[in-house]
A and B are shown apart, each in its own frame.
Chain A
Amino acid sequence: MTTETKELTKQEAFLAYLLRLADDRLILGQRMSEWCGHGPQLEEDLAMANMALDLIGHATALYEYAAEIEDEGHDEDYFAYFRDDREFTNLQLCELPKGDFGFTIARQFLFSAFSYFQYERLKDANDEQFAGMMNKHLKEIKYHLRHSREWVLRLGDGTEESHERIQESFDELWMYIGELFYMDEVDEFMIKEGLGVDSSEFKKEWKKLVEDTLTEATLTVPDWDQFMMSGSRKGIHTEHLGHLLAQMQFLRRSYPDAEWK
């Protein structure tokens, strides 16, 4: 990345910002969709497939807008299917394998809580189309947060086994939450333009929501100051993303001209 040496244009910053938001949702949605047909209960199976569709829907809208901003004749499918892992800028948190049900729920809770505070602010962004999109998606994010939070409480304050397993999930996920609050020149540019959000502004609120929920669920809040992973916003990923992309992109790349008839 050469961004340190040259000034970002508004177009570059906006494009990068939209792709980060979109990549988070596409990759997490893809992970969530792996539960389809494997849910612990028919109703929860539906709920997870539904959340996966919501996330992929959010990503699609963001990619469409990104294509418009980029103005290179790409479409949403290009961003989803024809970029390689180093070009994806989603959080590592989103690409981790789905794990057990508790792991999926713990991750969804941490991510939805972050998205909630983020979108609450982005819905007032200085761009009508972008702000409208954020406002529309916020409603679904609120539902994801409510759903995952309820499950954290149930599993944490449930049986000995469910308590132990979701505690392990939070412990395992913890080193990936540092990235949620990563900010660089893209964010700074977007904040200056009234288009982005300063995540340090709501870090306290987010931490409080997480702490309150974990405490209510009788879980132990892991160490906030522990080692944290980093790099995803610059295309550095865990080994898991490549496998996910291989599966997700295979068909589209093998038959690039295929169409629904």
Chain B
Amino acid sequence: MTDNNNDNWPLWEVFTQPKSGKPHEHAGSVHAADKEMALQNARDTYARRNEGVSIWVVKSKHITASTPEDMGPFFDPANDKPYRHPQFYSVPRAVKKRS
């Protein structure tokens, strides 16, 4: 396998849906020259052992990601706001019973 192909074939991120109704989850990435090849490669690499019912592929370059430097401003403020989690509130007994 020659590695100079990496320059020609772009990288794609693969998302597989384990069951219908469940969200697509990131499975990994593949190299492929076009979208059909990306789908097939994704299937062969991440979904050939019955791992999923649906696959999304998207060119990696189209993904915008937060950076490690964003960690502070993005996520820290939530640390001292426990009331943002549903678990913060005690559930009335009647509601609990029904569920």
Contact = CB atoms under 8 A, between A and B. Distances in A.
A8 interface: no
Interface of A: 38-47, 50, 143, 146-147, 150, 154
Contact of A39 (B1, B34, B45): B1
The 8 closest A-B pairs by CB, nearest first: A43-B41, A47-B44, A46-B44, A43-B30, A50-B44, A150-B36, A41-B5, A147-B40
29 contacts: A38-B1, A39-B1, A40-B1, A40-B5, A41-B1, A41-B5, A41-B9, A42-B1, A42-B31, A43-B30, A43-B31, A43-B32, A43-B41, A43-B44, A43-B45, A44-B41, A45-B1, A46-B44, A46-B45, A47-B40, A47-B41, A47-B44, A50-B44, A143-B43, A146-B40, A147-B40, A150-B36, A150-B37, A154-B33
B48 interface: yes
Contacts of A143: 43
Contacts, number: 36
Nearest to A154: B33
Number of contact residues on B: which range applies? 10 to 19
Nearest to B40: A147
Given A43-B41, A150-B36, A154-B33, A50 B1 contact: no
Contacts of A43: 30-32, 41, 44-45
Given A39-B1, A40-B1, A150 B9 contact: no
A41 B41 CA distance: 10
A42 B1 CA distance: 7
Contacts of B32: 43
Given A41-B9, A46-B41, 11 more contacts: A38-B1, A41-B5, A41-B31, A43-B31, A43-B41, A46-B44, A46-B45, A47-B41, A50-B44, A150-B37, A154-B34
Interface string B18-61: 00000000000011111011001101110010000000000000
Contact of A150 (B2, B31, B40, B45): B40
